[in-house]
A and B are shown apart, each in its own frame.
Chain A
Amino acid sequence: MTIQEIFFYLFSIIMLAAATMVISVRNPVYAILYLILTFFSAAALWILLEAEFLGIILVLVYVGAVMVLFLFVVMMLNINQSRVSEGFVKNLPLGIGVALVMLAEVLMVLWYKNQTGVDNFPIPVPHEQGYSNTAEIGERMFTAYLWPFEIAGVVLLVAIVAAVALSMRHREGVKTQSVPQQISAEKRDRLELIDMPVEGVKKN
């Protein structure tokens, strides 16, 4: 076994074990932590495939931002742990059915391409030192795949606007600070110096 293979099996086993734990642990906070471990192992596998851009972005976006917000929500909600596993037996047949359909779809694609043997997937030739995966992805994205890339960007933008529009609500009677008003405030608008006689002291 080469060192790559050792690492491949190590990360694969960790990933599959963690993914199983995600759906089997009772505490939702633990489930999210195992999901983070799953993402991390997946990122490690991608880096083994010399796709370091995808691997690091997976850690940056999912581990660094998305899962933090997941944790945030789960910690705030205080989910009832016994209710989570309720209905497991009832929904099991449906779940197995969906899983089987997905497996069948994957197998159909492989069968259609007639690539069911391991021999049809040769070990990729490693790139030479100094190869930049990031530069290559950037070049492809802005030349061959420009339109799909731009359209995906617009779709994401629409999703952001929709999320903001859906969650925004105007409440009456809430006091918020107006920053331009604060900045433009001047001394003469707010402060008045009055000449007044001192009280309680008789002038001679």
Chain B
Amino acid sequence: MDLEDIKQFIPQREPIIMVDRLVRVAAEEAVTSLVVRDTLCFVNETGCLSEPGLIEHIAQSASAFAGYAARAAGATKPPVGYIGEVKKFHCYRLPECGEELFTTIAWGPEVGGVRIVSGETRAADEVVAETQMKIFTR
């Protein structure tokens, strides 16, 4: 599969796409990237990606990971997932325009359509945000 075309893995469309690429995928872990730019809808008036923008980026990174797995299993469309819960979110600083984010997603088992995911976002090799979340599919 061509990892470059992110739209094949996520159901979100412009103007709310918050992940650029799936960088690599392993069995229980994936890495995505996003370049912060002022055209992103969660970039605030000071040119920084907001905390909700970071959470959405982590959620869509998890969505891309799930979409990759679904495509690999033969699905033609990416599954639509929703955030059920955000827990233990920690933001250390807001990344600025021009910075490239790398996010590592680790996922736990899926129980009853709910999956527990943890995500850690780095910029310039320092952690800027981390969170756990529950994602459910309708």
A and B: real partners?
no
Give me the interface of B with A, judged by CB distance under 8 Å: none
Give me the interface of A with B, judged by CB distance under 8 Å: none
